[in-house]
A and B are shown apart, each in its own frame.
Chain A
Amino acid sequence: MLPIVSITLFLPLLGALLVMTLRKAPVQVVHTIGIVTSGLTLMGVVRMWSRGVNETGFAQLEQLDWMPSIGAAYRVGVDGISLPLVLLTALLFFVTFIYSAKVRKQSHAFVALMLLLETASIGVFTALDAILFYVFFEVSLVAMYFMIAEWGHEDRQRAALMFFIYTFLGSLPLLLAILGLYLGSDPHTFDMRDWISNPPLNGTAAMLALVAMLITFAVKTPVFPFHTWLPAAHVQAPAAGSVILAGVMLKFGTYGLVRFAFQMTPDAFRDAGIVILVFGVVAALYGAFAALAQSDLKRLVAYTSVNHMGYIIIGVAIAALATDPAIRATALDGSVLQMVSHGLVTGALFLLVGMLQDRANTREMDQFGGLLNVIPILGWSFVLAAFASLGLPGLAHFPAEFQIFLATLQVEPVAVIAILGIVITAGLYLRAIGKVFLGEPREKWTNMADLNVREVLALSPLLILIVAVGVVPAWVLDVIHKTTAALQF
């Protein structure tokens, strides 16, 4: 049988090498390589999807010896938690390559870096060896640093460095935790499957490892008060970078929260559940209110990410606190689906804001007005994505948030207060729609061009999937639920 996971994982890297060797190739060829490679990767993931996941443990395992003396090996595979995220990653990279085909500044380096980032991102979700995971985790960080520093907006270097320092320092505690888990395992191994089926630490050691992991993933997710890098990075990042940063890389934090913190130190996680829940509730509400105060459209979307990621934290904490396996599965289903939904919706929103900025060179909401009439395709796409983001039924966020809140009410009813977030996000998105798209068109924008074919092609897969996940969530939830229903905790 073909090692589909590994092929999919390293295809983008091959593409990156190809781009680097073809230094003289014209820009169009380079972008075509990027689009084709990410398209093939997406097909590989679709093949993985059709192979499916197992009832218990991981499926589609592929492994090679690497450093047998210390128990590290090349091990990859997927389960119901990681497979949807792999699909999301491949899809977002594919549409980002289509959208970015306009990039002229050092396009060789751009495409190569993006492809490297794609391999790293898929690697984070498929790695089943902690060392491998950490390598991918760090490589993605470096790639994103250069993405912001090189192709970002005016104040890009400062933002890139802040992003780097924050998340780099943030990831060091994870390394400590990994070493702790390694030392606690018997025999010593970096095999994540062993750590999950047989958590190596307990007592204070487990709690220390958990705290270390929580710091890393709280920075990455990000959770209040570790989130300040996020708006700064988003404002300066190019649209392509923002899509990947919000759509894919924020999921590293929540995926790690589930895969590492939740699954590898379960008892400590349960003990700390209430604290984590409080952080989630605060993040959800704080993100919503902070977004309400923004006048820059991109910052607004960035802060709603803090809000949406807060719901995921709540869901995972509730899963840990729940005693009924059915409620735990509901909370985790919602959390994982929320990761997918957020990737689709926020990816679409950042693309749209990027497209608007390409046209107007500003993102200040007060500068716009009446654009729905001038650029109807962009306008209605934004309306659709915004309503998805505020949790409208029939669109991607609703089933996820519904499950999270349903489980929350049954376990910790007070925490349902976070549901206020859906009214605040409704308010801020309607305000944004009103300011930017409704009313009488301003004179200076009346000649603005609507979306071109490339932009429509980049956007439509996301919009279609937003509706598809919203109307028939079962096609994703069936995969997720297979794993969460059988989860040992």
Chain B
Amino acid sequence: MNLIAAAILAPLSMMVLILLLRRFPAALALLGAAVGMFASLYLLADAFNGQGNQLILPGLPDMPLRLISTPLTALLSTLVAGVSSLVLVYAVGYMKKDSEKVRFFATMLLFVSAMQTLVLAGDWILLLAAWELIGLSSYLLIGFWYRRPGVTSAATRAFLVTRSADLGLYIAVFILIASAGSSDIATTLNTGGNAAIAAGFFLLVAAMGKSAQTPLHDWLQRAMAGPTPVSALLHSATLVAAGAILLIRVAPMLPPEVLLVIGLVGGVTTVVTGLIALGERDLKRLTAASTSSQYGLMLVAVGAGVPLAALLHLIAHATIKSGLFLGAGIFQHSRNSTVLVNLQGAGRDRPRVFFGYALAALALAGIPPMSGYFSKEAIIAASLASPNVLLLAPLALAGTLLTGAYMARALRILWHGDRKSHKIVGLYWMGAGLAGLVTLAVILGVAFPAIETLLNTRLPENTPTRFPPEIFGLGAAVGGLILGWFFTARRLLGPLLPWVQQGFTIAGGFDNLMVRPAFAIARSCERLERILYAGVFAVGRFGLDIGRAVRRNDEQGIDGLIFSLVRNTVELGSRARSLQSGLIHREMAITVVGTALILAALLLALLVY
């Protein structure tokens, strides 16, 4: 079997098996993830040997579906498989007490195979399909506990906001196919001129939706209503990552105008959502805001023209962020809450978990020698070397400072406080998943040179500044950590705090700008409906009068041909009349006859003359 197909079909077939058997969901899910992992690793090994792989499937006429394994797609496929496997290991413990494991693991596998399709897609139609299917999977997973209040609206919001932005992808894909005459992604990347500019901006819109960039960042925090393993997967290597992956893949095509906007969107997001994370009162929501912030940094890298830096941060962030969520999930189970006030001291109760969590937090802040340090340095260096250095570099550095600050704040709260955690089930499975991810988060930096070799690109060496960029980045990271550890959010944010805690909602956000107008239009359509409906009945009454007149005056003068034409109608009218007793009904039957007579007369006239 083709290895690309295996990476997608292994989780998918296990999903089907779980749904059919309705037993052993966890074991089958792990099996599916493991087989998929091997397939991805094989693809990656082949890529290192310079071997590609391709699979062409029937699609639309003249537009076949393609799956391709290139160094980039094989790498991303391995990342998806690796992170999802470890998250599934963790989920075995986390979901131990849940009664609906079949549905949970089946949907998780659907999610994984849809994401594998997305990263391995070689044509736009398949990519678009996978793009929407991960939206569906996350809707199902965020809404997993659909009986709880507020869950449904969170899932609905996540799907609707991302789908609104997905229209950008639809239109970009149409533009690219139209101008290149092919749906093959590699071919369309040669697009230039206005088509590239337009497509670039629409792609950015799509990426902003999925990667929760300002002003579309709100849904991601609400998505915390789902189980924690879902968040871990959603934020690291799947749903949210799709936006950045899309921009990384199309980066060679993007013209400078688009790059500048991408960089600015990313820069603004990293600061705005960084501030939100700093003011957050809930650990999972803090982590969610941090996700937007980190993806903002990746967009800065793409905007600065160094997509490789974005890719490295994507990889580092995937392992770090899933680790952070897995840690948060253990603390959540220990205290039955994710509110920071209730989590005070939860870390001290479980020092080993806290140690893992702290390593991941430091990695995210960008402390050497962990993976986040290398990727973040690459981003800051890229922003400093960019032609738009004055715009991008301050934003990137501010984002880095904020990362340190909110992570240190979380660590401080988790460490200080009373010890009151209770025993939890499934800790070994959860611990194993966490340990695996934190290990990756710590050591992956070592693999970065190999990745550069694999992709045959290097990070730019030259630095235009007098100081090495490491000083800026490390300074910001350490400064942030110190601020966050020693000062409370209230002290740091001051008067900004209330606004920050509302999530920087501008003009009422999605509800006021999208939902309310949509319903207002819908209501006016409904009013128009009633008017139209009443109008039709008025016309009916008018026809009735004419019909009576026609019957009175003209019946005698019309020859048999017309009667043969209308006989059926008359019959039908009388049968209709016999069916019921209402007056309106009979009158309307006469209307038919009358109007039919008029039209028949017209028809006859046409035939004769």
Instruction: Judge whether B159 is part of the interface by a CB distance below 8 angstroms.
Output: yes
Interface residues in A437-472 by Cβ distance below 8 A to B read 437-441, 472
- The contact string, 1 if C-beta is below 8 Å from chain A, for chain B 548-571, is 000000000000000000001100
- The contact string, 1 if C-beta is below 8 Å from chain A, for chain B 53-75, is 00000111110000000000000
* A393 touching B147 in the complex, CB below 8 Å, given contacts A292-B519, A403-B60: no
Chain B residues near A228 (CB-CB < 8 A)? 529, 532-533, 536
Q: How far is the CB of B150 from chain A (nearest CB, A)?
A: 10
Chain B residues near A293 (CB-CB < 8 A)? 519, 522-523, 525-526
Which of A114-122, A165-173, A346-354 contacts its partner?
A165-173
* CB–CB B532/A149 < 8 A: no
* CB–CB A477/B133 < 8 A: no
Which of B81-89, B268-276, B345-353, B580-588 contacts its partner?
B580-588
* A434 touching B540 in the complex, CB below 8 Å, given contacts A150-B579, A168-B596: no
Instruction: Judge whether A329 is part of the interface by a CB distance below 8 angstroms.
Output: yes
Q: How far is the CB of A228 from chain B (nearest CB, A)?
A: 5
* CB–CB B588/A165 < 8 A: yes
Residue of B nearest to A423 (CB): B164
User: Chain B interface mostly helix, strand, loop or mixed?
Assistant: helix
Chain A residues near B589 (CB-CB < 8 A)? 161
- The contact string, 1 if C-beta is below 8 Å from chain A, for chain B 164-175, is 100100110011
Residue of A nearest to B532 (CB): A228
Interface residues in A210-258 by Cβ distance below 8 A to B read 225, 228-229, 231-232
Chain A residues near B585 (CB-CB < 8 A)? 157-158, 161
Instruction: Judge whether A394 is part of the interface by a CB distance below 8 angstroms.
Output: yes
In-complex Cβ contact of B133 among A394, A419, A478 (8 A): A394
Interface residues in B136-154 by Cβ distance below 8 A to A read 136, 139, 143, 146-147, 149, 151-153
Q: How far is the CB of A479 from chain B (nearest CB, A)?
A: 11
Further contacts, 4 of them, CB under 8 A, given A406-B174, A406-B177, A409-B178: A166-B536, A176-B606, A179-B607, A434-B156
Instruction: Judge whether A79 is part of the interface by a CB distance below 8 angstroms.
Output: no
Complexed CA–CA distance, A477 and B159 (Å):
30
Q: Report the count of interface residues on A (CB-CB < 8 A).
A: 72
Instruction: Judge whether A133 is part of the interface by a CB distance below 8 angstroms.
Output: no
In-complex Cβ contact of A424 among B62, B518, B529 (8 A): B518
A-B contact list, 27 entries, CB within 8 Å: A157-B576, A164-B576, A165-B588, A169-B596, A172-B596, A176-B606, A290-B526, A291-B522, A292-B518, A292-B525, A293-B522, A293-B526, A333-B61, A398-B129, A402-B60, A420-B167, A423-B160, A426-B163, A427-B160, A427-B518, A430-B159, A434-B152, A434-B153, A440-B147, A472-B58, A473-B59, A474-B58
* CB–CB A179/B603 < 8 A: yes
Chain B residues near A372 (CB-CB < 8 A)? 146
Chain B residues near A145 (CB-CB < 8 A)? 572, 576
- The contact string, 1 if C-beta is below 8 Å from chain A, for chain B 518-549, is 11011101100100110010001000000000
Complexed CA–CA distance, A318 and B589 (Å):
39
Chain B residues near A370 (CB-CB < 8 A)? 147
In-complex Cβ contact of B61 among A225, A289, A329 (8 A): A329
Q: How far is the CB of B521 from chain A (nearest CB, A)?
A: 5
Q: How far is the CB of B164 from chain A (nearest CB, A)?
A: 5
In-complex Cβ contact of A430 among B160, B540, B579, B602 (8 A): B160
Complexed CA–CA distance, A333 and B147 (Å):
42
* CB–CB A438/B143 < 8 A: yes
Q: How far is the CB of B431 from chain A (nearest CB, A)?
A: 33
Complexed CA–CA distance, A172 and B598 (Å):
11
* CB–CB A149/B152 < 8 A: no
* CB–CB B153/A409 < 8 A: no
Complexed CA–CA distance, A232 and B529 (Å):
11
Complexed CA–CA distance, A424 and B607 (Å):
48
Residue of B nearest to A424 (CB): B518
In-complex Cβ contact of A481 among B59, B61, B592 (8 A): B61
In-complex Cβ contact of A426 among B155, B160, B521 (8 A): B160
* A161 touching B133 in the complex, CB below 8 Å, given contacts A169-B599, A333-B61, A440-B147: no
Chain A residues near B602 (CB-CB < 8 A)? 176
Interface residues in B485-502 by Cβ distance below 8 A to A read none
Instruction: Judge whether B591 is part of the interface by a CB distance below 8 angstroms.
Output: yes
Complexed CA–CA distance, A96 and B136 (Å):
30
Chain B residues near A286 (CB-CB < 8 A)? 525
* CB–CB B592/A431 < 8 A: no
Instruction: Judge whether A357 is part of the interface by a CB distance below 8 angstroms.
Output: no
Instruction: Judge whether A162 is part of the interface by a CB distance below 8 angstroms.
Output: yes
* CB–CB B133/A416 < 8 A: no
* CB–CB B146/A232 < 8 A: no
Instruction: Judge whether B128 is part of the interface by a CB distance below 8 angstroms.
Output: yes
Instruction: Judge whether B125 is part of the interface by a CB distance below 8 angstroms.
Output: yes
Complexed CA–CA distance, A290 and B525 (Å):
5
Q: How far is the CB of B300 from chain A (nearest CB, A)?
A: 29
* CB–CB A179/B579 < 8 A: no
Chain B residues near A420 (CB-CB < 8 A)? 167
Instruction: Judge whether A27 is part of the interface by a CB distance below 8 angstroms.
Output: no
Chain B residues near A381 (CB-CB < 8 A)? none
Chain A residues near B596 (CB-CB < 8 A)? 168-169, 172
Instruction: Judge whether A399 is part of the interface by a CB distance below 8 angstroms.
Output: yes
Counting from the closest, the 8 A-B pairs by CB-CB distance are A393-B129, A292-B522, A293-B526, A293-B522, A409-B174, A474-B58, A438-B146, A290-B525
Residue of A nearest to B58 (CB): A474
Q: How far is the CB of B95 from chain A (nearest CB, A)?
A: 18
Chain A residues near B592 (CB-CB < 8 A)? 161, 164-165, 168-169
Chain B residues near A149 (CB-CB < 8 A)? 576, 579-580
* CB–CB A405/B522 < 8 A: no
Complexed CA–CA distance, A286 and B527 (Å):
12
* CB–CB A161/B588 < 8 A: yes
Q: How far is the CB of A287 from chain B (nearest CB, A)?
A: 9
Interface residues in B434-449 by Cβ distance below 8 A to A read none
Chain A residues near B599 (CB-CB < 8 A)? 169, 172
Chain A residues near B588 (CB-CB < 8 A)? 158, 161-162, 165
Instruction: Judge whether B132 is part of the interface by a CB distance below 8 angstroms.
Output: yes
Chain B residues near A99 (CB-CB < 8 A)? none
Complexed CA–CA distance, A477 and B526 (Å):
36
Instruction: Judge whether A136 is part of the interface by a CB distance below 8 angstroms.
Output: no
- The contact string, 1 if C-beta is below 8 Å from chain B, for chain A 289-317, is 11111100000000000000000000000
Instruction: Judge whether B595 is part of the interface by a CB distance below 8 angstroms.
Output: yes
Complexed CA–CA distance, A57 and B579 (Å):
45
Instruction: Judge whether A387 is part of the interface by a CB distance below 8 angstroms.
Output: yes
- Residue of B61, B136, B515, B532 contacting most chain A CB atoms (<10 Å): B61
- The contact string, 1 if C-beta is below 8 Å from chain B, for chain A 137-175, is 000001001000110000001101110111011001001
Complexed CA–CA distance, A69 and B529 (Å):
48
Interface residues in B290-338 by Cβ distance below 8 A to A read none
Complexed CA–CA distance, A333 and B63 (Å):
13
Instruction: Judge whether A373 is part of the interface by a CB distance below 8 angstroms.
Output: yes
Complexed CA–CA distance, A446 and B120 (Å):
45
Q: How far is the CB of A398 from chain B (nearest CB, A)?
A: 7
Chain B residues near A20 (CB-CB < 8 A)? none
